[in-house]
């Protein structure tokens, strides 16, 4: 593939002293991944055909979810392999440049920012925590989980029959609202318990996340020092037990490249 026919695909920025990649590391469309070095940094790149990955061609194909998903998986596989070798600043999917010299120029121009980002994530990995509210299970415990419903239950127990009926009707009307409130409170408490165990923590947007009979109430990323992983893992286990008993499900994933903590510097 000649230079005029190729674009340079950038996966990540790495420290200058990262060892050369072994032969056979493949990325998007099976293209070999290599390192470019400039500005006291390294970049993991592949050459891709301009006729398939130029702006017009990409615009025509980004609506094809299967096509994008396949390339996203290849992009992530490269990042995971790189992250096992040391600090890495991941670039977003389809970070394309008009040749290797453009990438070298980027490393030279943005070197200070990249080095700051690499120092930020050195010796750390990203871990993901999701907390799901399983509605049927939480509903079974709602009267004890919701302070408002507990208060109404106590008031109802001491009330005259007519008022007791009204208070129970009020409690029934509040159950959907309290289900959401209990989920939000669980998310806040779980995040607050885990954040001090990490170097950095971020709660991620929840819009459109859920399904039949369950809702995502917390999607969070934690940047954890490798030397502090054991206490963080214990914290996750404690959160899983606590909220599992209340009808929630906790998902723990990783380690990942620092996707949510490198964006400002990549």
Angle between helices 100-109 and 111-121 (to 10 degrees): 80
Cα(195)–Cα(203) distance, integer angstroms: 10
The pLDDT score that the predictor gives to residue 214 is 83
Residues 130 and 115 in one domain: no
Task: Give the contacts of 11 (CB within 8 A, at least 6 positions apart).
Answer: 27, 33, 43, 44, 45, 46, 75, 78, 79, 82, 90, 91, 95
Tally of structural domains, the chain: 2
Residues 29 and 140 in one domain: no
Angle between helices 161-194 and 229-245 (to 10 degrees): 170
Using the predicted structure, report yes or no on whether residue 205 has a pLDDT greater than 50. Answer: yes
**Residue 200 pairs with which residues in a beta bridge?**
223
Q: Helix (H) and strand (E) counts for the chain?
A: 10, 10
Q: What is the mean pLDDT of the chain?
A: 87
The pLDDT score that the predictor gives to residue 2 is 47
221-255 confidence digits (pLDDT tens)? 999 999 999 999 999 999 999 999 999 999 999 99
Burial class (CB in 10 A: 0-12, 13-18, 19+), 178: buried
Listed range (59-68, 95-104, 147-156) with the worst mean pLDDT: 147-156
Which of 39-48, 141-150, 255-264 tops mean pLDDT?
39-48
The pLDDT confidence band at residue 156, using thresholds 50, 70 and 90, is low
Residues 74 and 94 in one domain: yes
Cα(20)–Cα(39) distance, integer angstroms: 17
Range of the domain at 11: 3-122
Listed range (101-105, 107-111, 211-215) with the worst mean pLDDT: 211-215
Its pTM stands at 0.82
Secondary structure percentages of the chain, helix, strand, coil, to 5? 55, 25, 20
Residues 169 and 199 in one domain: yes
Mean local confidence (pLDDT), 74-101: 94
């Amino acid at each position: 593939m000649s230079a005029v026919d190729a674009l340079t695909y950038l996966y990540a920025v790495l420290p200058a002293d990262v060892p050369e990649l072994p032969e056979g590391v493949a990325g998007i469309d099976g293209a070999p991944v290599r390192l470019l070095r400039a500005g006291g940094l390294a970049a993991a790149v592949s050459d891709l055909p301009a006729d398939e990955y130029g702006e017009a061609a990409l615009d025509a194909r980004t609506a094809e979810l299967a096509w994008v998903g396949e390339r996203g998986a290849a992009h992530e596989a490269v990042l995971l392999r790189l992250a096992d070798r040391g600090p890495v600043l991941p670039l977003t999917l389809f970070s394309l440049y008009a040749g290797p010299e453009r990438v070298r120029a980027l490393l030279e121009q943005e070197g200070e920012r990249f080095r700051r980002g690499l120092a930020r994530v050195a010796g750390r990995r990203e871990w993901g925590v999701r907390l799901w509210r399983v509605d049927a299970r939480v509903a079974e415990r709602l009267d004890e989980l919701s302070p408002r419903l507990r208060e109404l239950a106590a008031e109802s127990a001491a009330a005259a029959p007519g008022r007791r009926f009204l208070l129970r009707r009020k409690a029934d009307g509040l159950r959907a609202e309290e289900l959401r409130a209990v989920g939000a409170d669980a998310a806040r408490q779980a995040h607050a318990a885990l954040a001090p165990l990490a170097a950095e923590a971020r709660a991620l947007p929840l819009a459109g996340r859920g399904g039949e009979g369950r809702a995502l109430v917390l999607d969070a990323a934690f940047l954890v020092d490798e030397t502090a992983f054991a206490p963080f893992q214990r914290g996750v286990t404690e959160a899983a037990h606590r909220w599992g008993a209340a009808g929630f499900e906790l998902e723990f994933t990783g380690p990942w490249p620092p996707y949510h903590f490198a964006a400002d510097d990549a």
